[in-house]
Structure 1
Amino acid sequence: MPCRNLRFLVVEDHEFQRLALTRLLQTLGAATVREAGDGRAALQVLRDPDRPVDIVLTDLSMPAMDGMEFIRHLSEAGSPVSVILTSALEPALLASIAHMARTYKVRLLGVIAKPVAAAKLVPLVELHRGMADEQVPPEVAFPLDEIAEAWTRNEFELWYEPQVLLASGTVRAMHAGARWDHPGRGILEPAAFMPSVQARGLKEDFGWLVLQKAVAQCRLWQAEGRDLSVWVRLDFDSLADVNTAARIRQTTDNEGLSPGHLVLGIPEAALQADQARVLENLARLRMHGFGLAIEDFGHGAMDVDRLALVAFTALKFDRGFVTGVDRDSAARAGLAVGLELARKQQLATVATGIGTKDEWQLLHDWGCLLAQGPFIAAPMPAAAVPAWTTRWTRSTIR
């Protein structure tokens, strides 16, 4: 049974729809199904430690506390439950609310337009099972003392994914991403350890560690005569701290790196909170000469007006825009809109997740500037970059 051993909470103000959804879950084998008429009642249910919940199915239009306010409270409480949104609202509005939920860092499985049917529900339940299998709760995975010891031993390192010009194949930059060289588990990707780092209140410190390591490595490549820039995602809350721009500039000055060799990736969500301070920081960074790239474009709902708020230098397409673009007409339509938007804003464009030569060719033909993905190379430790660049310059991909 698809819902076997899983515990559900149905949040729905219409009694008939609530009953129908409860019965559907029971026929699919749910272990328990609890009910609430609005967000406020749902929060009361979730506070009961003796009756835990795995998945919440919530409507959006409800009295007392609607679904959006309920999602915000889940985020503020750090609730680990998975969430499925159910609503009869128009698709564009549902997509916007789904983006809001992800921005709040709620574990959103997906959105189902009413009426809810088993064919729509079961794939999202399976997604929850897959996420549960892959993710160990932060409080169990890595305790604070183990993280601190890894920090002291310099076990956190950066791996680099090449970015190359689609027109010529020339290597232009390296995108930095964190790894943990764990003595007992081998090389761990961020999904395995960042929840623990964040749960220990170390997200900000870790972000600065990544930035410092990337700047130092870029300066080393420059000293070796390798004209490479480095891209680093700034995924931390201090973008709203007015001292952040000065601190980033101090980091490059300490290493003797020109700001022009560092591109800072800005998540779309960073422009949502305390916007004035964030915009001030980003403007100062551009004045210093740093590159600014909007990260994962296409994953959220960034529009022309939002892009115009910041003097971005590049737009980085989410891999969902790129993978299978040569075969998927919907993906091609979305990519075409994004490329036209970038042209109007005079932004360099980067396609991530390129996996085939056909994808490479289509993106080249459509005028995308840079490529990144498994067709070019998988992420690699810094020590492997020189040998890879030598092999790549001799390759036939041009």
Structure 2
Amino acid sequence: MPCKNLSFLVVEDHEFQRRGLVQLLASLGATAVHGAQDGEAALKLIADASQPVDIVICDVNMPGMDGMEFVRRWSERGDPSSLILMSAIEPELLGTVANMALAYKVRLLGVTSKPATAAKLTPLIELHRSQQRLPLPKDHSFSFDEITAAWVGEEFECWFEPRINLATGAPRAMAAVPRWRHLAEGVLEADAFMPSIRARALDDSFTCLHVQQAAAACRRWQLKCEGIPVSVNLGFHSLADVNLSPRIHHILQREGLDPRLMILSVNEAALDTNQLAQVLENLARLRLLGFGLAISDFGMGPTALDPLALAAFTELHIPSRFVVGSDRDPSARAGLAVALEAAQQLKVPAVATGIASKYEWTQLHEWGCRFGQGPFIAPPMSRSAVPRWLANRQNAELSEA
């Protein structure tokens, strides 16, 4: 039964529809199904630790606290439950609400139109089961002492997600992602611990540690796979510090890595600041030193950027929310088209993130996207696994030639 061993919360103001959905989920084997008439009642139920919830199914248009406010308020809790959005509103508007939920970092399984049926819900519920998420800490917060101990114990690591040429499949770069090999919780993703790092004003120090680890790993794999750069995300809180560029350059000098083998990725939101002059000074200095520069999450920041602010960039990264589901989501497809057009106008290559299917790979290539990464290509891997993956990839290309 698709709902076996799962608990649900149905947030729906229409009593008849709410009862019908509760009964449907129960018939599909749900362990428990709770109901709430609006977002406010739902938040109270979620706050009750004695009634844990795996999946929330929420209507969008409700009196009182509607679905959009509920998602915002719910996201502030950092709750690990999954979300299914359900509504009778037009698909384009529902797609906009879905993108809003993703922007709030909610674990959105998908959207469905009313009335809810077993055929509509079952694939989304199966998606919840199939997602292999790294474990999260129970309270989503770490103390300064815990972070310091992990730092000293070298528990923070750099993992790498392969980026390839979509036309040939050849390796293009390795994208660095931070991980915490927590002694009790296992390997944690950045979303689990970066809020604690930021809350304790350790952003800049962690950025430097991340760059240092990425540079060291990149230098080592050059011995067997020469010319494959590493791409590193820079926390935008650091970008207004005019000492950032010499600090990063010094790290690479110490690790013996040519700056031309590192691409520094900057979130688009970093350019929407009253310290833009300092940010642009840093970017200009980094380019002069030989670093590549990428603008990431394009389309999620300011709606109109001065082209001069983008002139230093050498790549444009397309967020996964414009890539995944672009075959069926008009909003995602429109965002993808805008990003690809922007890359063409800036005369820089586009890099798609989050590629999850062969269809997405093929569509992106046909639309003019040159590079990509995502779970369909390869998941993030530990530093020690990178040389082997690169060698296998290059051997496969030689055998196909």
Equivalent runs, 1:1-398 vs 2, <5 Å: 1-131=1-131, 134-139=133-138, 151-160=151-160, 163=163, 173-178=173-178, 192-194=188-190, 196-198=192-194, 201=197, 204=203, 206-217=206-217, 226-234=226-234, 236=235, 239-240=236-237, 243-244=240-241, 246-247=243-244, 249-256=246-253, 261-266=261-266, 270=269, 275-276=272-273, 282-288=279-285, 289=287, 290-295=291-296, 305=304, 311=310, 312-317=313-318, 339-351=340-352, 367-370=368-371, 379=381, 381=383, 385=387, 388=390, 392=394, 395=398
Instruction: Answer whether contact 1:7 1:32 (CA < 8 A) is retained.
Output: yes
- Aligned counterparts of 1:357 and 1:54: Cα–Cα separation in 2: 30
Identity over the aligned pairs, expressed in percent? Answer: 42
Q: 1:266 to 1:78 in 2, by over 3 A?
A: same
What's the offset of the Cα at 1:346?
1.9
What's the offset of the Cα at 1:232?
0.9
- Aligned counterparts of 2:81 and 2:356: Cα–Cα separation in 1: 33
Structure 2's unaligned 5+ residue stretches are none
Q: Which residue type is aligned with residue 255 of structure 1? A: L
TM-score calculated relative to the size of structure 2: 0.71
- Aligned counterparts of 2:218 and 2:166: Cα–Cα separation in 1: 22
The secondary structure found in structure 1 opposite 2:80 is coil
- Aligned counterparts of 2:184 and 2:76: Cα–Cα separation in 1: 34
Q: Once the two structures are superposed, what CA deviation does each residue of 1:251-283 show, in whole Å capped at 9, x if it has no partner?
A: 223433676543223456x56xx9425866653
The secondary structure found in structure 2 opposite 1:176 is strand
TM-score calculated relative to the size of structure 1: 0.71
Q: Which residue type is aligned with residue 114 of structure 1? A: K
- Aligned counterparts of 1:26 and 1:168: Cα–Cα separation in 2: 49
Instruction: Answer whether contact 1:159 1:382 (CA < 8 A) is retained.
Output: no
- Aligned counterparts of 2:283 and 2:239: Cα–Cα separation in 1: 14
Instruction: Answer whether contact 2:221 2:386 (CA < 8 A) is retained.
Output: no
- Aligned counterparts of 2:14 and 2:399: Cα–Cα separation in 1: 62
Q: 1:15 to 1:336 in 2, by over 3 A?
A: closer
What's the offset of the Cα at 1:160?
4.3
> Please, which moves more after superposition, 286-295 or 38-47?
286-295
Instruction: Answer whether contact 1:159 1:176 (CA < 8 A) is retained.
Output: yes
Instruction: Answer whether contact 2:171 2:390 (CA < 8 A) is retained.
Output: no
> Please, which moves more after superposition, 285-294 or 74-83?
285-294
What's the offset of the Cα at 1:154?
3.1
Give the number of aligned pairs: 382
The secondary structure found in structure 1 opposite 2:49 is coil
Q: Once the two structures are superposed, what CA deviation does each residue of 1:37-72 show, in whole Å capped at 9, x if it has no partner?
A: 221222122222333333222112222222111111
RMSD: 4.9
